[in-house]
Amino acid sequence: MDSTFWPLWQQHQDYLYLCCVKWTDNVADAEDALSQAMLKAWDKISNSPVDIKNFKAWLSQLTYNLCVDIHRERHRGGRQVESLDAIGFEEQEIASQEETPVLVA
Query: What is the per-residue pLDDT for 100?
Result: 53
| Total structural domains within the chain | 1
What is the rounded distance in angstroms from the CA atom of residue 2 to the CA atom of residue 45? 9
Query: What is the per-residue pLDDT for 68?
Result: 93
> pLDDT tens-digit profile of 28-58?
999 999 999 999 999 988 887 778 889 999 9
Domain ranges, residue 33: 2-77
Residues of the chain with pLDDT under 50: 87, 89-94, 96-97
| Residue 92 within any structural domain of the chain | no
What is the rounded distance in angstroms from the CA atom of residue 39 to the CA atom of residue 5? 11
| Residue 101 within any structural domain of the chain | no
| Residue 86 within any structural domain of the chain | no
Q: What is the CATH number of the domain that holds 15?
A: 1.10.1740
> Could you tell me the pTM of the whole model?
0.67
Query: What is the per-residue pLDDT for 75?
Result: 79
For 29-47, letters b (16+ CB in 10 Å) and e give: bbebbbebbbeebeeebee
